[in-house]
């Protein structure tokens, strides 16, 4: 799988969940050039600035090339690999022997490949024996995952490929600024409008994405749930419910309808600030065409009621017959590069590989058999991400962290930083010396995307192969090598291979028969087919294939490699075609399952094949404004930086475009404060204080301010954010909290 100098290696961008295709050419002098890869359908060669400049982080000028250990005087100094690994193993062993396995924590990242996420989850449960593992993907789309599972019986970010978007009739895009977070994807929405379709954008800011919309709804932060309920109320009141679809393909409608009817339009206008005429226009636009979609992102999801909020948008789709039909449906726009695959294979607190539930005895038996351990030895579910971070230094004494920077990215970040400092021992694997790595007792330099092969799963559910294009620098090892070495030192000599393809082969067996079944996917297929959509079971007999056509009724495989898919396994020839019966697929393709780009066309992944309405009602955000904190804060990203900025802040071109944090506020709010463009402003919440320059724009609500969250230091937006958790998904409420503004001289807003 390795590339050769001066030979272009086809691979994928290391950043967001689009996983854009690109070619890499490694020159003899060590430089790496990015060129277009037009054969990949998601970006067709287009790349944003982050993708174009991604090789700059490969440079040894900005990355780690030697292990670091904390010296007696408290500084980090270079060390050899054996010394660093021995120190980690000794501390983990001592803490486990003294306090028990659950005193050991493991924290992963949504940028880890499927192989790394799988191995990390296995390492936590088999080697350490701890239940205390979760990952930063909990902060990404866990609310959408919970809502999708409740409604459809299965969660996959998009149950259809992006190429379907231009051919639908209307898209409601809720809480997403794709023009800045996923720029190459914006072309699908431009093509939608060119084809006569319409775009509705829901966002409290008039973003670059909202400027592309036919209708922009700007609700007060924290009221997306009321907005969705108000739209459903109007669907019912105006006689726009697809009664036949509701009767034949859903359950729970009566309760959901009653809940929605309690949210009449005038009440919703008072709660959200969206006018009744705009509510009616949105309903008309959404219901007029034959097909339509709702897509959500972090805006409605990163709330303490995110699961219910997404559930309300799903209810709107179900009531209008816009799910499980060609060119229609609900989807979630996953953010992190492998946010989808990262939670499917075991680094999430409550899940085992294949999207199996850790509490399911059959799932435990299956995975334990693949791992060669007693099912009873596997620990139960542990804490969610924020709860795990909050427990550091108390119940959890030591932490192994891979591919995350919670000092910048976690809510209530100053508190999280304090918890990390209170640990008995912190070990971090990263490519750069992030703000979190700076606190560690041992830092291990690991390989990057271009220096290793591995798979990721895009927001479409498309499993992709990132190919190794060049060797890593001397002194750098892969995360798989780290886990292998630590497992060996902790007494587990087998089961942690360093070859990613070997790990993937085991992942295939572990996922077989699960909701996220990868057993029919191989590295060879991924290299030849430009990715494969899961579920993709391994070859099965025709009799088993017929059984697997009953969606939601998985067949227990006779061997770990054979399985049946819990969703219709056939791929329609066109979006308008229904799924081919599984028996026909088996006859036509006896050796290879084609993968499943479009889910739910025949039935949903529930026991009876019906989608579930969930009755929900509006409730306020966990923290409302008051006299002391009269303004709402919402947070997000800018186009030139990514997540905590640990990598993008090391690229000169990106820093020139986005050099630091800012506070976006409306002219009326700025006038009340007496602030001018560029003036330093302090934003103060109940959790802390951040300072950044003012950026004044009429494109934001007067009662709201916005801060990007990519920077540490005094401009760290997550110093302010509220860790109030959704009761189902355990998602923190990043997107809304109460603040006050102060000039640096001290005058407050009224």
CATH of domain 142-332: 3.40.228.10
What per-residue string of b and e applies to 51-71 under the rule 16 or more CB within 10 Å gives b?
A: bbbbbbbbeeebbbebbbbbe
pLDDT reported for residue 7: 82
Distances 196 to 189, 192, 280, 583 between C-alpha atoms, Å: 11, 7, 20, 38
Q: Are strands 250-251 and 356-357 parallel, antiparallel or unpaired?
A: unpaired
Q: Rounded CA gap, 574 and 531, in Å?
A: 18
Mean pLDDT in residue range 73-102: 98
- CATH 2.20.25.90 in the chain is located at 8-58
Distances 705 to 265, 450, 694, 714, 718 between C-alpha atoms, Å: 26, 38, 10, 17, 14
Report the CATH fold assignment for 631-743: Barwin-like endoglucanases (2.40.40)
Q: Rounded CA gap, 560 and 557, in Å?
A: 6
Q: Please report which helix (H) or strand (E) contains residue 268, including its range.
A: helix 265-272
CATH of domain 8-58: 2.20.25.90
Burial class from Cβ neighbours inside 10 Å (0-12, 13-18, 19+) for residue 416 reads buried
Choose among 318, 307, 308: nearest CA to 257: 318
Q: What percent of the chain has pLDDT over 90?
A: 88
Whether 591 shows a pLDDT value over 80: the answer reads no
40-53 pLDDT, tens digit each: 999 999 999 999 99
pLDDT reported for residue 375: 98
Q: Are strands 351-352 and 356-357 parallel, antiparallel or unpaired?
A: antiparallel
pLDDT reported for residue 337: 87
Whether 510 shows a pLDDT value over 80: the answer reads yes
Q: Rounded CA gap, 34 and 648, in Å?
A: 16
- CATH 3.40.228.10 in the chain is located at 142-332
Q: Which range has the worst mean pLDDT, 250-264, 455-469, 538-552, 560-574?
A: 560-574
Chain mean position to CA 653 = 26
Whether 569 shows a pLDDT value over 70: the answer reads no
68-140+338-498 under CATH 3.40.50.740, yes or no: yes
Mean pLDDT in residue range 62-84: 97
pLDDT reported for residue 6: 61
Choose among 738, 584, 735: nearest CA to 143: 735
Whether 71 shows a pLDDT value over 50: the answer reads yes
pLDDT reported for residue 578: 30
Mean pLDDT in residue range 114-140: 97
- Residue bearing the bigger pLDDT, 712 or 749: 712
- CATH 2.40.40.20 in the chain is located at 631-743
Q: Distance from first CA to last CA of the chain, Å, rounded?
A: 62
Mean pLDDT in residue range 122-130: 98
**Which positions ≥6 away from 19 have C-beta within 8 Å?**
12, 13, 42, 337, 456, 458, 462, 464
Whether 552 shows a pLDDT value over 50: the answer reads no
Local confidence band at 553 (pLDDT 50, 70, 90 cut-offs): very low
Mean pLDDT of all residues belonging to the chain: 92
Local confidence band at 584 (pLDDT 50, 70, 90 cut-offs): very low
Whether 165 shows a pLDDT value over 80: the answer reads yes
24 contacts 450 by C-beta, under 8 angstroms: yes
148 contacts 606 by C-beta, under 8 angstroms: no
- CATH 3.40.50.740 in the chain is located at 68-140+338-498
Whether 359 shows a pLDDT value over 70: the answer reads yes
Local confidence band at 745 (pLDDT 50, 70, 90 cut-offs): confident
pLDDT reported for residue 540: 63
């Amino acid at each position: 799988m390795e590339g050769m100098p001066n030979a272009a290696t086809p691979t994928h961008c290391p950043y967001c969940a689009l996983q854009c295709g690109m070619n890499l050419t490694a020159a003899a002098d060590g430089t790496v050039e990015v060129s277009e890869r037009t054969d990949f359908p998601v970006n067709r060669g287009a790349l944003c600035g982050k993708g174009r400049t991604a090789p700059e982080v490969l440079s040894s000028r900005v990355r780690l090339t030697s292990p670091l250990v904390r010296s007696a005087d408290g500084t980090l100094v270079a060390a050899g690999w054996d010394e660093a690994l021995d120190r980690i193993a000794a501390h983990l062993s001592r803490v486990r022997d003294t306090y028990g396995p659950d005193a050991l924590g493991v924290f992963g990242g949504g940028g880890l490949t499927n192989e790394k996420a799988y191995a990390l989850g296995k390492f936590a449960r088999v080697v350490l024996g701890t239940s205390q593992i979760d990952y930063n993907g909990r902060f990404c789309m866990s609310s959408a995952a919970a809502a999708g599972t409740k409604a459809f019986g299965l969660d996959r970010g998009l149950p259809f490929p992006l190429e379907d978007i231009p051919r639908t009739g209307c898209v409601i895009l809720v809480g997403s600024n794709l023009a800045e977070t996923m720029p190459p994807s914006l072309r699908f929405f431009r093509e939608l409008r060119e084809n006569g379709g319409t775009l509705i954008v829901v966002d409290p800011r008039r973003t670059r994405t909202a400027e592309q919309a036919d209708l922009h709804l700007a609700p007060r932060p924290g009221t997306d749930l009321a907005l969705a309920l108000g739209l459903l109320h109007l669907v019912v009141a105006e006689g726009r419910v697809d009664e036949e679809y509701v009767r034949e393909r859903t359950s729970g409608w009566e309760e959901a309808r009653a809940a929605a009817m309690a949210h009449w339009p005038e009440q919703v206008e008072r709660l959200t600030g969206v006018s009744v005429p705009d509510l009616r226009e949105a309903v008309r636009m959404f219901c007029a065409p034959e097909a339509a979609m709702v897509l959500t992102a972090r805006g409605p999801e990163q709330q303490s009621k995110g699961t219910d909020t997404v559930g309300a948008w799903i209810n709107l789709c179900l009531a209008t017959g816009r799910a499980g039909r060609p060119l229609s449906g609900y989807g979630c726009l996953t953010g992190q590069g492998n946010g989808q695959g990262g939670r499917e294979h075991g680094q999430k607190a409550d899940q085992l590989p294949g999207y199996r539930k850790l509490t399911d005895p059959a799932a435990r038996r299956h995975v334990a058999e693949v791992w060669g351990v007693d099912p009873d030895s596997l620990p139960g579910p542990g804490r969610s991400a924020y709860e795990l971070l909050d427990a550091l230094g108390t119940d959890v004494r030591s932490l192994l962290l891979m591919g995350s920077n919670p000092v910048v990215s976690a809510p209530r970040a100053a508190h999280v930083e304090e918890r990390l400092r209170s640990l008995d021992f912190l070990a971090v694997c990263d490519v750069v010396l992030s703000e979190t790595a700076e606190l560690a007792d041992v830092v291990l330099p690991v390989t990057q995307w271009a220096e290793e092969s591995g798979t990721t799963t895009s927001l479409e559910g498309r499993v992709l192969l990132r190919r190794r294009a060049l060797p890593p620098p001397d002194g750098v090892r892969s995360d798989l090598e780290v886990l292998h070495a630590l497992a060996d030192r902790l007494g587990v000599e087998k089961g942690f291979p360093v070859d990613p393809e070997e790990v993937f082969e085991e992942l295939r067996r572990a996922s077989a028969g699960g909701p996220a079944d990868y057993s029919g996917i191989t590295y060879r297929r991924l290299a030849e087919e430009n990715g494969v959509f899961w579920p993709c079971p391994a070859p099965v007999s025709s009799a088993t294939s017929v059984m697997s056509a009953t969606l939601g009724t998985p067949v227990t495989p006779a061997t770990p490699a054979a399985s049946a898919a819990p969703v219709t396994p056939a791929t329609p020839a066109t979006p308008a075609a229904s799924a081919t019966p599984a028996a026909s697929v088996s006859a036509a393709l006896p050796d290879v399952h084609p993968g499943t780009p479009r889910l739910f066309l025949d039935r949903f992944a529930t026991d009876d094949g019906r989608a579930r309405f969930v009755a929900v009602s509006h409730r306020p955000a966990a923290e409302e404004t008051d006299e002391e904190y009269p303004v709402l804060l919402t947070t997000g990203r800018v186009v030139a930086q990514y997540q905590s900025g640990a990598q993008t802040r090391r690229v000169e071109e990106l820093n020139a475009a986005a050099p630091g944090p800012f506070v976006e506020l409306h002219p009326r709010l700025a006038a009340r404060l007496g602030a001018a463009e560029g003036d330093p402003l302090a934003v103060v919440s109940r959790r802390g204080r951040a300072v950044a320059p003012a950026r004044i724009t009429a494109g934001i609500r007067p009662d709201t301010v916005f801060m990007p969250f990519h920077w540490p230091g005094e401009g760290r937006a997550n110093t302010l954010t509220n860790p109030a958790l959704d009761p189902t998904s355990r998602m923190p409420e990043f997107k809304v909290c109460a603040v006050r503004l102060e000039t640096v001289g001290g005058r407050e807003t009224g």
